[in-house]
Amino acid sequence: MINNFAGSGSPAVKSVLILGIGNISRMDDGIGIHVVNHIFESGMSIPQNVEIIDGGMSLYDLLPVMMNREKIIIVDALKSDDNPGTIYRFPAEYLIRTGVKDIIDQVYIASGKIDIEIVGIVPENTDSECINISDSLKKIIDVAAMEVLKAAGNSFDVKANNCN
């Protein structure tokens, strides 16, 4: 799990949480985790009020971490008939019957109506047992990372669409 804590001692709860989720052993299903790792590895500027976590597949375990935030950005693979690598950004209210939606509903119940946004990336392959992502997602990972940071408050001139 990656954490972006500032200062020493107990970490303060930051107002914005970026949460990368997915199963990295299922190729593109782990794109959310690959994107948050890319943010750190590329040296992109992370706002002071932002905490970034590699959530893996343990969403229910992350409920306490999701509480008391002003905004949460969840980065995950998004099933769609669109081209692999297409990036979507939308309010969490648009999700229908998913495990992620169940967790979001619990956050709303416990913390009230907070701003939760999804950055979903259309995968190419989620069936192969491989920790690498497909070439089509490698091509857009930088754009996806900038879109996530833009959602968190950084200002980038990014078009959230397929970048082949």
Domains of the chain and CATH, by start: 16-152 (3.40.50.1450)
pTM listed for this prediction: 0.85
Q: For 52-110, write each residue's pLDDT tens digit.
A: 999 988 888 888 999 889 999 999 999 999 999 999 999 998 887 677 888 888 888 88
Asked whether the beta carbons of 84 and 137 are under 8 A apart, the reply is: yes
Angle (CA) 99 101 30, round 5°: 55
Distance CA 155, CA 81 (A): 30
Separation of first and last alpha carbons in the chain: 30
